[in-house]
Amino acid sequence: MTQVALPTAEPRPRLRQLGTFTAMLARDLRVLRRQFGQFLLRTIMQPLLFVFVFAYVFPKIGQGFSSGHGATFTTILVPGLIAVSINFQGIQSVAIPLVQEFSVSKEIEDRVLAPVPVWAVALEKIVAGAIQAIIAALVVFPIVDLVHARGAAPIIHVHSWPLFVFALVFSSFLAASGGLLIGTLIEPRKITLLFSVIVLPITFLGCVYYPWATLSPIPWLKYLVLLNPLVYMTEALRASLTPQLPHMPVWAFSLALVGGSIGLGALALRTFYRRVVS
């Protein structure tokens, strides 16, 4: 008796799209693994130089800073350095490759032909950028723990693990969303302006070197910097790692990180779609 093979049902569209999304993410992570040496080098240079100068050189030559709250300047600097690494890596890992894909390699045309909606291609870039930002943040910890002069070791501890994970994850997604938005708006010939006009001012006005609460003597600046997303990343990490220092209320930076990640992410997905179909 001849057996007739029954036709197998095709996978559900959502499962097929999820599989494609996972495959694209795995591809980007594989590329990261193959280029991990370069990734590590560009990640550690900035925090390493900051820590070496402020935590080793300055105390050695008798020019250490004091916070006025019984903490060394290194202690103040650690949450800021982690936030800067997250912001820098999140923006760079998404914006620069995206500009190249739109202009030089035209790889974006192949990506949007994948059997997923266009917004899913953009979302995958945000997720991949956020993962790289989290890795960059974790790289900072051994640097600040090992590179410092005697008596200048930072006093940090995870005050609240849920708060620390929350700050780490949402800061990374906020930075990656910003990278996607910048990558879809900036022209290839103006990519050099990314760091001089955007990243550098954000860094110096992101409460990296001082807690936000200490800006009270300059009221106009204290409220102007609230437009800077790096402020909320820094303050969230400061609240979870150095709670002994003044910091922004938890509800304030939590609302900003969640709302900013959703709002900026939605705007970035929209600009990405417009750039692709235009």
pLDDT at 265: 92
* pLDDT for res 6: 46
With a pLDDT cut of 90, the percent of the chain lying above it is 28
Going by C-alpha positions, the residue among 120, 148, 126 that lies closest to residue 17 is 120
- With a cut of 70, say whether residue 153 has pLDDT above it: no
In a domain, 15, yes or no: no
Label residue 197 by pLDDT band (50, 70, 90): confident
Measured between alpha carbons, how far is 82 from 246 in angstroms, rounded to an integer? 18
d(C-alpha 115, C-alpha 121), whole Å? 10
**Is 14 within a domain?**
no
Looking at every residue in the chain, the average pLDDT score rounds to 81
* DSSP per residue, 99-129: HHHHHTS-HHHHHTTSSS-HHHHHHHHHHHH
Tell whether 3 is covered by a domain.
no
Q: State the pTM of this model.
A: 0.85
Q: For residue 256, which of 210, 212, 195, 204 has the smallest C-alpha distance?
A: 212
Question: In 3D, which of 229, 231, 201 has the Cα closest to residue 215?
Answer: 231
Question: Residue 10 domain-assigned?
Answer: no
| 12 domain-assigned | no
CA 54 to CA 78: how far, in whole Å? 11
Residue 228: inside a domain: yes
Please check whether residue 7 lies inside any domain of the structure.
Answer: no
Q: How many domains does the chain have?
A: 1
Measured CA to CA, the distance from residue 38 to residue 211 in angstroms comes to 32
231 Cβ contact list (under 8 Å, min separation 6): 205, 206, 207, 212, 225, 248
Please indicate, yes or no, if residue 141 is contained in any of the structural domains.
Answer: yes
pLDDT value for 231: 95
Cα atoms in the 13 Å half-sphere on the side-chain side of 194: 25
Residue 198 is part of which domain span? 20-59+67-277
* pLDDT tens, residue by residue, 62-112: 655 555 555 677 778 888 888 988 998 888 888 888 887 777 666 776 676
Q: Read off the pLDDT of residues 109-131 as tens digits, 9 standing for 90 and up.
A: 667 666 778 888 888 899 999 99
